[in-house]
């Protein structure tokens, strides 16, 4: 009965669209199947929240992330979709619009929309700038309205071209949540003025994210890579078959001390994580018949280019637990503390854990992997996470100044081949000083950051010329009745990006993978 009750709840939910309901119904159906056969020990670790399969489902029938070779598709057309090769920009955009609806992913919405400038540049000959702008703008609006998921990702750069510049212009103009955008930066190729446009866009709409192109490119072969979803870097014409993540906080709680953590606990739970990865990937590759797809037959993806993502989270808590640090309170924030993100010894222990994970992941074979291996990933959290910080991030609200923040975490970035994102909270004043954003971004990338992501709106501290204020304090102060005028910053940010009124339509399904009222 409980099962049917749940279906009824989904079906009659007042806030979901029919399409969203269908998705949740499908998830519920899959969840009603028995879980793939796994050992008792894995099951216990799953139940205890040490290992998490991201609610991908009990019987995976589609890969988590798929990155089709869209350039090849436009060049050859598609037998399955009954399309001949694209011969101009309109046909190319139309063909892309069509195929996006046939690219599966964990959320059923494509997470990768392609390296659009590379893909579209061959079709721009003879098209004037104004027409390119008009066509791309319509395309952009179409994406947001028909595929409303904040994790759907477009890539542009590192080269300077009219598609790249036009997309940056349109993205800043429309300030839509979807699609998400990554701008690849290569100091040897990307002119400073182009990066400057990208970083001033960040000041306006917190997009694009800036990817460190040389580092990502070096991690993959000549066929290339793409940045998808939550800043995951994956092989092009392939993707991720599954993502299983390990909760380092829980692993640390099981360890007697630091030595025990490295010698026993960590390797043991990594081993269990691998068993779950193997079971899930085997089912997808061997039982689900996914790889019969036209995407494979027409050469847009290759089975051998799919790899499992080995995710981790809760690094901050793990380090603090292993060092026996007391819980950080708000009063401690302004002074030197022993905590992860603030203290060199703590940070170095974190780096050591990342390095150990890297060694394990690079030396453990998997049946279905990229060159036979899984790819290490600093996982960005989902909505059920409580009291555990995403990936290797510094706990929200306790971050040091942006420079110290970058310096504390840069060392981790070399290890996380399939993606790591550390969101820097920067105070509002940067909006009016995009050169500062530019410099911060360059600094971060030069220190080895794989991906630069900045969150401008939500910082509680704001420096006004001459003093620094805490917005939360001011809010209370104002409520108590002062004559000062109000500018609700949150409200303002919401107005600018339209976040509030858009939430019902534009989802971030990866963050809430299971149905909850």
Q: Which residues bind another protein (CB under 8 A)?
A: 331, 334-336, 401-404, 406-407, 427-433, 435-440, 442-444, 446-447, 462-467, 469, 471, 474, 482-485, 487, 489
Residue 126 C-beta: closest distance to another protein, Å: 40
DSSP strand pairing (180-185 vs 209-212): parallel
Element (H, E) at 32: none
Q: Shortest gap between Cβ of 444 and another protein (angstroms)?
A: 8
Min dist. Cβ of residue 435 to another protein (A): 4
**Among 214, 122, 120, residue whose Cα is nearest residue 167:** 120
The nearer residue to another protein, 317 or 399, going by C-beta atoms, is: 399
Beta strands in 289-390 (DSSP E): 306-313, 365-370, 373, 375-378
- Which residue, 72 or 478, is less far from another protein as judged by CB? 478
Q: Reply yes or no: is the peptide bond before residue 179 cis, omega within 30 of 0.
A: yes
Closer to another protein at the Cβ: 15 or 329? 329
**Distance from C-alpha of 152 to C-alpha of 177, rounded to nearest angstrom:** 10
Distance from C-alpha of 145 to C-alpha of 141, rounded to nearest angstrom: 6
Residues 506 and 146 sit within 8 Å (Cβ to Cβ): no
Q: Which long-range contacts (CB under 8 A, 24 or more apart) does 192-199 make?
A: 192/438, 194/157, 194/160, 194/164, 194/165, 195/438, 195/441, 195/442, 196/434, 196/435, 196/438, 197/165, 197/168, 198/157, 198/168, 199/434, 199/437, 199/438, 199/441
3 state DSSP class of 170: helix
Structure tokens at 175: 């300030």
Distance CA 326, CA 361 (A): 31
When the beta carbons of 66 and 437 are compared against another protein, the nearer one is 437
Token reading at 407: 């310096």
What the block records as the tokens of 494 is 């919401």
Give the shortest CB-472-to-another protein separation in angstroms.
11
Q: Least CB distance from residue 439 to another protein, whole Å?
A: 4
Q: What contacts 24+ positions apart, CB below 8 Å, involve 327-334?
A: 328/395, 328/398, 330/397, 333/398
Least distance CB 497 / another protein (angstroms): 17
Question: Is-cis flag, bond preceding 153, omega within 30?
Answer: no
Which CB sits closer to another protein, 4 or 485?
485
Pick between residue 83 and residue 469 the one whose CB is nearest to another protein: 469
Residue 440 beta carbon to another protein: minimum distance, rounded to whole angstroms: 6
Residue with Cβ nearer another protein (174 or 436): 436
Residue 440's contacts (CB-CB under 8 Å, 6 or more residues apart) are: 402, 403, 406, 424, 426, 452, 454
To another protein, the closest distance from the beta carbon of 474 in angstroms equals 5
**What is the Cα–Cα distance from 480 to 47, expressed in whole angstroms?**
47
Q: Which is nearer to another protein, 150 or 440 (CB)?
A: 440
Minimum CB separation from another protein for residue 397, in Å?
Answer: 17
For another protein, the closer of residues 4 and 487 by Cβ is 487
Choice between 276 and 441, CB closer to another protein: 441
Q: CB of residue 447 vs another protein: minimum separation in angstroms?
A: 7
**Interatomic CA distance for residues 182 and 453, integer angstroms:** 10
């Amino acid at each position: 009965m409980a099962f049917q009750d749940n279906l009824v709840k989904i079906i009659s939910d007042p806030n979901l669209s029919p399409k969203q309901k269908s998705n949740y119904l499908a998830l519920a159906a899959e969840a009603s199947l028995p879980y793939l056969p796994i050992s008792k020990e894995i099951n216990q670790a799953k139940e205890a929240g040490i290992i998490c399969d991201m609610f991908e489902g009990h019987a995976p029938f589609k890969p988590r992330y798929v990155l089709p070779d869209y350039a090849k598709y436009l060049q050859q057309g598609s037998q399955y979709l009954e399309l001949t090769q694209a011969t101009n920009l309109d046909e190319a955009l139309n063909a892309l619009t069509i195929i996006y609806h046939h690219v599966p992913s964990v959320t059923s919405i494509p997470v990768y929309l392609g390296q659009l400038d590379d893909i579209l540049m061959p079709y721009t000959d003879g098209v004037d700038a104004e027409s390119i702008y008009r066509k791309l703008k319509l395309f952009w609006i179409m994406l947001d309205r028909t595929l409303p998921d904040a994790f759907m990702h477009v890539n542009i750069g590192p080269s300077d071209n009219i598609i790249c510049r036009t997309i940056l212009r349109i993205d800043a103009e429309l300030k839509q949540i979807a699609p998400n955008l990554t701008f690849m930066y290569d100091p040897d190729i990307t002119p400073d003025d182009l990066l400057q446009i990208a970083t001033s866009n960040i000041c306006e709409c917190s997009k694009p994210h800036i990817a460190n192109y040389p580092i990502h490119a070096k991690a993959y072969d000549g066929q290339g890579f793409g940045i998808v979803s939550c800043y995951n870097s994956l092989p092009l014409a392939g993707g991720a078959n599954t993502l299983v993540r390990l909760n380092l906080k829980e692993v640390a709680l099981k360890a007697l001390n630091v030595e025990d953590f490295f010698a026993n606990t960590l390797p043991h739970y990594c081993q269990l994580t691998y068993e779950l990865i193997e079971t899930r990937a085997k089912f997808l590759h061997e039982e689900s018949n996914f790889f019969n797809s036209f995407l494979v037959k027409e050469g847009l993806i290759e089975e051998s280019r799919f790899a499992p993502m080995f995710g981790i989270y809760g690094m901050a808590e793990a380090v603090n637990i292993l060092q026996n640090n007391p819980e950080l309170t708000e009063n401690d924030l302004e002074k030197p503390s022993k905590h992860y993100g603030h203290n060199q010894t703590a940070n170095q222990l974190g780096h050591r854990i990342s390095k150990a994970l890297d060694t394990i992941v690079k030396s453990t074979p998997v049946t279905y992997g990229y060159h036979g291996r899984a790819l290490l990933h600093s996982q960005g959290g989902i909505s059920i996470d409580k009291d555990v910080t995403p990936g290797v991030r510094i706990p929200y609200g306790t971050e040091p100044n942006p420079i110290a923040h970058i310096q504390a975490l840069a060392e981790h970035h070399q290890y996380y081949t399939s993606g790591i994102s550390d969101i820097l909270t920067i105070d509002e004043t940067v909006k009016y000083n995009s050169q500062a954003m530019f410099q911060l971004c360059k600094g971060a990338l030069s220190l080895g950051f794989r991906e630069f992501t900045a969150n401008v709106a939500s910082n509680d501290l704001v420096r006004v010329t001459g003093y620094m204020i805490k917005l939360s304090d001011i809010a209370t102060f104002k409520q108590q009745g002062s004559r000062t005028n109000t500018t609700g910053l949150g409200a303002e940010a919401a107005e600018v990006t339209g976040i509030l009124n858009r939430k019902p339509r534009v989802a971030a399904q990866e963050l809430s993978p299971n149905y909850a009222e």
